Structure 1
Amino acid sequence: MHRHGPVRWMATGANRSAARPGVRVAAPLLAGLLLSGPLLAGCTSAAATDPAAAPTPSPASTPSGTVATAPPPQPPPQLTQEQVSAAVGRIDGYVQDAMAKTGVPGLALAVVYRDKVVHAKGFGVRELGKQEPVGPDTVFQLASVSKPIASTVVAGAIGQKAVKWDDPISVHDPGFALSDPWVSSHVTIADLFSHRSGLPDHAGDLLADLGYQRDYILQHLRDQPLAPFRASYAYTNYGLTEAAVAVAKAKGAAWEDLAAEVLYKPLGMSSTSSLRSAYDGAANKAVPHVRTDTGWQVSATENPDPQSPAGGVSSNVQDLGRWMRLQLADGTFEGRQIVDAAGLNETRVPQIVSNPPMAPAGNAGFYGLGWNVSYDPEGRLRLNHSGAFELGAATVVTLLPSEQMGIVVLTNGQPIGVAEAVAQEFLDLAQNGRETVDWLGFFGKVVPAAALEGVSPTDYAEPPAGAAPAGPDAAYVGTYGNGYYGPLTVSARDGGLVMSLGPDDLEFPLQHYDGDVFSFRTKGENAVGLSGVTFTVGADGRASAVVVEQLNHEGLGTFTRS
């Protein structure tokens, strides 16, 4: 999903300039970004409204016997039809101004209120240099907004008595394992959908960048170190993907087919799919773009099929309007119960603290099952998720169930805060009748700053003064093994060294930095600019091992000469 999700920002990659640092998918984000009340969760900036005004939820029992917080009884609606209509009337102008300021090529949004799509519109173009406009039927990649859609599908499977949220993964996928055997036998669907399994942040995403497919990545999650089970939150696209795959196995179907059978077809989401091929084949689709030093340019996102439940959905705002209506109606749509209400409502219960309060009287942010869960200053439950592909997509959905209102915003530009700003502006206009915070300025700083995570502390652009010379090429050339990332091969070519990684032998030219240290330019959704490669050379003048800095965040980046 690449990074779809929370704020540190990881998407499925990042792209500084032409290659900013990394959103590690579905995010990251993304990859997503989280909104806690009016704030991006995890952000250190202060909100215009007082977060202490939100009530403290009361403890309740949740799946797997863990303790979480249940949503308090929802207050009666506070917004009037006139307030919502006024916000709808002003949001188009805000969108046009935001696009003019940032240059984001295309955007579509839909607003749902009281079981109706009251506004659906497209802005800008599908692809720079071409005239085709974005409309409400234009298909976008959703990135991590796929996660609440996936939990909706699981709720549907629960209604069909195929699974329960607290089913252990091992019941439906006996071959799955994590590094701790006890955790392997106890981790549940809910644990993985709420990112509380103990897997590290974005575990498996870098394998996807190297070209590994879903089965390999899920099998190798057992190599990842674990934090305390059900006591720590870390956003993991492939953890959630494994849970969805287990649900699909319980139904005897592929996940992509199950999503269509349980949700897309019954709801009439005819332009929605969990397969990249459907997006690629769509005649009316928004093409991804990235912002470079010379302006916006057409890009290409990685294929998110390996993590399809976490970040692989494509859709348009017309279809997503139907989905928001179903969400706000507890699984019903136009008089038909399509998704089990109890299974769906469980997705909205806080399962784990994702963002602790930053002050004694501050508000915590929670993660439910595929949703960021928070309580706004008026005491209302707020459900939110952002999606981000650093290589060219930024999306957000926010629901206020007590108001029967929701908004979804899709863009075809890399995440720079526009989608989040538009959604928050609409909520601000509806609640307050005016903008209380410069949301575009706020998110325009927070989101790009979050993408800087993972950047090397060393500036490899120029060798240091007095750099030691490298050894002869023969000292480094050879094949090095690694049980997680697979083999790494160093070859001498055209007067330099080239490193090859992954099942397709992706090539990375090495530039000498200092002594036995080289650098390479990272690629893919999680790219972070230049990163280091350090060889260990013995007394025999031959390298016995090599550490790849970008791959070593969890201590898994050491390759030993075969």
Structure 2
Amino acid sequence: MSCLTSRPLRSLLAVALLSVLVPSGFAMAEVPIDFDAHMEAAMHQYGVPGMAVSIVEDGKTVLAKGYGVRKLGSQELVDADTLFVLGSTTKAFTSAALAILVDEGKIGWDDKVTDHLPGFQMYDPWVTREITIRDLLVHRSGLGLGAGDLLFVPRTLRTRAEAVHALRYIKPATSFRSGYAYDNVLYMVAGQLIEAVSGQRWEDFVREHVLKPAGMNHSTTDEVDHFATSDRVQPHARLDGRIRGMGHLEMLDERQGLPQAAAPAGLLASSANDMARWLAIQLNHGALPQAGKDGARLFSEAASQEMWTPQVLTPISKYPAPLDALTPQFSAYALGWDVEDYRGITILEHGGAVLGEQSLVVLLPSRNVGFAMQANSEDGGVVMKGLMYELLDHYLGAPHHHWVADFGAFKKQRQAAAIVALDAMDLAQAKIKAGSGKPPLPLSGYVGKYADPWYGPIDVSQDKARLRIDFTKTPNMAATLEYWQYDTFRTVWDDKGIEPAYVTFALDASGKVSRINMKSVSPLADFSYDFQDLVITPQP
């Protein structure tokens, strides 16, 4: 679930960056005349079965359309009402739900979390006392990148409340408010807080107070409603290559995706028509498209300004050529939005990814333009990111450039570099393993009941001549441990969609296991597989 200095940027710079006035004499550009053909060609080239695109200009929907098919081998077409799971672009909806409660006077952005969730705890008692509702949304808590995601990735038996309770055992990576590291678990806390304040589950509150007033009548917040709708896509990915993202495209089991507990961070599902309404509301600073003379609003203009105001500076990683022109000069995170510049103009955007589906939402306030894209394949990132900049160039009057092709080349370069790194590791391992070809201890020496403070129980067992590891709170997250080298094994998960990991047993002076460490095998593994954060020790 994607993609995530600590001082709020309450300055004239922030105000200037967030100006939404349309320049005088500016005429709205139409959708590129060859857009449909370009979309379909890009989808075919990069293996994306289906997509949806919404474009809003000056409050009007100029495009809300589906492309391709809902699943491989099917003739069921994606239409403007077909549902896609949004992933982390859900975070802006959670922020909007909180904004509604702020407008009602029930909470304040800078209220302490414990004012509304008295039993809430972080690892550090001082952080527990000081963390605010605003802090939950801006990735500056001190947690590491993706910390705690294994509580619900790829699925879990835990409730949302149980996952939130486990936060107290996750050690911080940095001091509070000293840096930026993207997380998902604190948006789950935000969901719990909404329930505590409103008396409604996050799912029900967002459906009744965000989606229904917005006229987003096809969107869903609950997997029960989602699976009851026939007009939805199926997720796709490439799993049979050396690393995820390489090999043959295949359809995934949609019911093996993220659990309902993680919904406030990334499980809202929507369509092209509904996302067009969401774009219009955002660009209208909370005013509903059907407001008319009564001035009906989803949230106040003050709340809109608050949600768009940069809060935390985010690190800038320079793109290599030929993408280097896309590297921003300014990058920050607001309340559920990334804020950066492109060609000297401020944009707000956020991406999302969850089990075989991806999404992207982009706002260009100074031109009163917004667009959203969804894809039912993990290959969709190349198409969406490239189209994002092609559309931005179009609406900014810049020369056309085929950014989709450049992002495709960039992805291939990253994959090739990852394969080189894996080959080097395999070669080194082969030389070390050539000596004995077996682990130092008999397999029974590694068997036992283990646990991590925040994840919970992890079992290692012996099944005849092989070791097995089982993450017992995560259904179907079990693997055979193939011997790698020294006291290190490599997972072969029963579910091939889970990122492979190295499992290293540390021995004490008596030759007994004192600790287990893990890390992902692939250099490109999703950060939500935060194996490296586990501290697994034997249990009595």
Q: TM-score, normalised by structure 1?
A: 0.81
8 Å CA contact 1:156, 1:339 repeated in 2: yes
Residue in 2 that maps onto 1:40: none
Match of 2:482 in 1: 511
SS at match of 1:89: coil
Helix, strand or coil at the partner of 2:34 = helix
Shift in Å at residue 561 of structure 1?
4.3
Answering whether residue 503 of structure 2 is matched by residue 536 of structure 1, we say no
Q: Which amino acid aligns with 1:373?
A: V
Contact 1:166 1:188 (C-alpha < 8 Å) held by counterparts: yes
Residue 178 in structure 1 maps to residue 122 in structure 2: yes
The corresponding residue for 2:270 is: 315
> Of residues 519, 530, 535 in structure 2, which corresponds to 1:557?
535
| Aligned residue in 1 for 2:523 | none
CA distance 1:431–1:538, change in 2 (3 Å): closer
Whichever residue aligns with residue 229 of structure 1, its letter is F
Amino acid paired to 2:368: Q
1:476 aligned to 432, 439, 446, which one? 446
User: Aligned partners of 1:78 and 1:253: how far apart in 2?
Assistant: 43
In 1: Cα distance, 2:124 partner to 2:81 partner: 46
Tell me if 1:215 matches 2:161: yes
Counterparts of 1:428 and 1:441 in 2: how far apart (Å)? 15
Amino acid at match of 1:320: M
Out of 343-352 and 532-541, give the one that drifted further.
532-541
Answer yes or no: is the 8 Å Cα contact 1:140–1:316 preserved in 2: yes
Q: Distance in 2 between matches of 1:297 and 1:320?
A: 27
SS at match of 1:243: helix
Matched, 1:84 2:50: no
Displacement, 1:244? 3.1
What is the distance in 1 between the residues matched to 2:468 and 2:13?
A: 50
SS at match of 2:363: strand
1:367 matched to 2:320: no
- The CA deviation at 1:445 is 2.1
Matched, 1:326 2:276: no
SS in 2 for 1:332: coil
| Preserved CA contact (<8 Å) 2:389 2:403 | no
Structure 2 residue aligned with 1:466: 435
The answer to which structure, 1 or 2, has the higher relative contact order (CA under 8 A, 6+ apart) is 1
**Equivalence for 1:343:** 303
1:238 aligns with 2:185: yes
Counterpart residue number, 1:431: 396
State the shift of 1:447 in Å.
9.3
SS of the aligned residue for 2:203 comes to helix
2:164/2:189 contact within 8 Å kept = yes
Deviations 1:65-88 (A, max 9, x none): xx9944446274359886521x34
Residue in structure 2 matched with residue 493 of structure 1 by the alignment: 463
Q: Is the 8 A contact 2:491 2:502 kept in 1?
A: yes
- Check 1:447–1:558 CA distance in 2 against 1; reply closer, same or farther (3 A cut): farther
The answer on whether the counterparts of 2:164 and 2:185 sit within 8 Å (CA) in structure 1 is yes
Structure 1 stretch displaced more, 335-344 or 192-201:
335-344
Q: CA deviation at 1:444?
A: 5.4
Q: Verify the 8 A CA contact 1:104 1:412 in the aligned structure 2.
A: yes
Counterpart mapping for 1:47-446 below 5 A: 59-60=9-10, 69-72=14-17, 74=19, 76-78=21-23, 84-85=29-30, 87-209=31-153, 211-213=156-158, 214-226=160-172, 227-292=174-239, 293=241, 294-301=247-254, 302-333=257-288, 334-335=290-291, 336-356=296-316, 363-378=329-344, 380-389=345-354, 391-415=355-379, 416-432=381-397, 434-442=399-407, 445-446=410-411
Q: CA deviation at 1:536?
A: 3.3
Partner of 2:244: none
SS of the residue aligned with 2:435? Answer: coil
Q: Deviations over 1:401-426 (max 9, x none)?
A: 12111000110001442122222212
Where 2:218 maps in the other structure, the secondary structure is coil
Provide Cα deviations, 1:445-503, integer angstroms capped at 9, x if missing partner.
259949999x9894498673224522222212221233222222222213211111222
Structure with the higher helix share, 1 or 2:
2
CA drift of 1:195 comes to 0.8
Q: CA deviation at 1:145?
A: 1.0
Deviation string 1:152-178 (CA, Å, 9 cap, x unpaired) is 222122122221111111111111111
SS at match of 1:147: helix
Q: Which amino acid aligns with 1:466?
A: G
Give the root-mean-square deviation of aligned CA atoms.
3.1
Secondary structure of the residue that 1:96 maps to in structure 2? helix
1:558 CA displacement: 2.5
The answer to whether the 8 Å contact 2:393/2:400 transfers is yes
Distance 2:20 2:471 in 1: 55
Contact 1:83 1:431 in 2 (8 A): no
The answer to whether the Cα contact below 8 Å between 1:68 and 1:352 also exists between their aligned partners in 2 is: no
- Aligned-pair distance for 1:370? 0.1
CA distance in 2, matches of 1:177, 1:314: 30
Structure 1 window deviating more from structure 2 (433-442 vs 288-297): it is: 433-442
User: Structure 1: how far apart are the matches of 2:235 and 2:366?
Assistant: 35
Structure 1 residue 134: deviation in Å?
A: 0.6
2:410 partner amino acid: K
Deviations, residues 309-351 of structure 1 (Å, cap 9, x unaligned): 1101001011111111111111111222221221122010000
Deviations 1:335-381 (A, max 9, x none): 2222122112201000001124869x961210000000123324x33
What TM-score do you get using the length of structure 2 for normalisation?
A: 0.84
- Whole-Å Cα distance in 2 between the matches of residues 332 and 160 of structure 1? 16
Contact 1:417 1:447 in 2 (8 A): no
Which residue of structure 1 lines up, in the alignment, with residue 525 of structure 2? none
Aligned with 2:505: secondary structure? strand
Cα gap change, 1:304 to 1:477, in 2 (>3 Å): closer
Using the alignment, how far apart are the partners of 2:352 and 2:413 within structure 1?
Answer: 14
Aligned AA for 2:19? Q
Which moves more between the two structures, 304-313 or 108-117? 304-313
The residue identity in structure 1 corresponding to 2:206 is A
**Contact 1:409/1:422 (8 A) holds in 2:** no
Aligned-pair CA distance for 1:439: 3.3
Number of positions where the alignment pairs a residue of Structure 1 with one of Structure 2:
499
CA distance in structure 1 between the aligned counterparts of 2:283 and 2:416, rounded to whole angstroms = 32
Post-superposition offset of 1:219: 1.2
Q: 1:526 to 1:235 in 2, by over 3 A?
A: farther
Question: Measured at CA, do residues 458 and 239 of structure 1 come closer, stay the same or move farther in structure 2, by a change above 3 Å?
Answer: farther
SS in structure 2 of the partner of residue 203 of structure 1: coil
CA distance in 1, matches of 2:238, 2:56: 31
Mapped to 2, the partners of 1:211 and 1:224 lie a distance apart of 17
**Native 8 Å contact 1:545 1:561 kept in 2:** no
- Secondary structure at 1:424 match in 2: helix
Residues 279, 326 of structure 1: alpha-carbon distance in 2 compared, 3 angstrom cutoff: same
> Separation in 2 of the partners of 1:525 and 1:347?
39
Query: By how many angstroms is 1:144 displaced?
Result: 0.8
